[in-house]
Amino acid sequence: MTYAITSDCIRCDRCLSACPTGAIETNGTNVWIEVDRCNQCEGAYGVPQCWSVCPTNEGCVPLTTGVAALAASSAPTNDYWTAWFAKYTQMVERLKGTQQSGYWRQWFDDYAQRLQQLQA
Ligand code: SF4
Ligand code: SF4
């Protein structure tokens, strides 16, 4: 699995010097990873450097899956940071769901109250 730069990239250029294989390129406007030069930092670091130095949440993600897809996947993984981001995304989605159910509960309460007022 290699990594990819997404549209969340703010072009801070931190990953360019962090990559041990020189796989990250820029033309001054865009940043991208040359897939055939990326070895996932194997032998140099335990964590992909482009991912770990990126100041954005999803400026650099696993190419084949993406963080959202990882969160939905039930496949077990031994990669600490992959598991961490997958768990984080799951928690955020759960929080969004909680907020939404609160919204609808409020909506039904208001609706029921107005019905009672109309019937009174
Ligand atoms: S995973 Fe490692 S080798 Fe691949 S682009 Fe990122 S920093 Fe470079
Ligand atoms: S570190 Fe992240 S934000 Fe900075 S250039 Fe690389 S991918 Fe873009």
Nearest residue (CA) to ligand 2, atom 1: 54
Is there an atom of ligand 1 within 6 Å of 65 CB?
no
Tokens (6 digits) for 31 = 């940043």
CB 7 within 8 A of CB 60: no
Which sequence spans correspond to the domains of the chain?
3-119
CB 3 within 8 A of CB 40: yes
Q: What is the pLDDT of residues 38-97, one digit of tens each?
A: 998 999 998 899 988 999 878 888 776 444 444 434 334 456 677 677 667 766 666 666
How far is the centre of ligand 1, averaged over its atoms, from the C-alpha of 99 (Å)? Answer: 37
Is there an atom of ligand 1 within 6 Å of 21 CB?
yes
| Residue reference for tokens 């919204």 | 103
C-alpha 80: how far from its chain's center?
15
Q: What is the pLDDT of residues 107-119, one digit of tens each?
A: 778 888 887 888 7
Instruction: Enter the pTM of the model.
Output: 0.57
pLDDT at 77: 47
pLDDT at 57: 77
State the average pLDDT over residues 5-18.
91
| Of the options 3.30.70.20, 1.10.357.10, 3.30.830.10, 2.160.20.10, the CATH number for the domain spanning 3-119 | 3.30.70.20
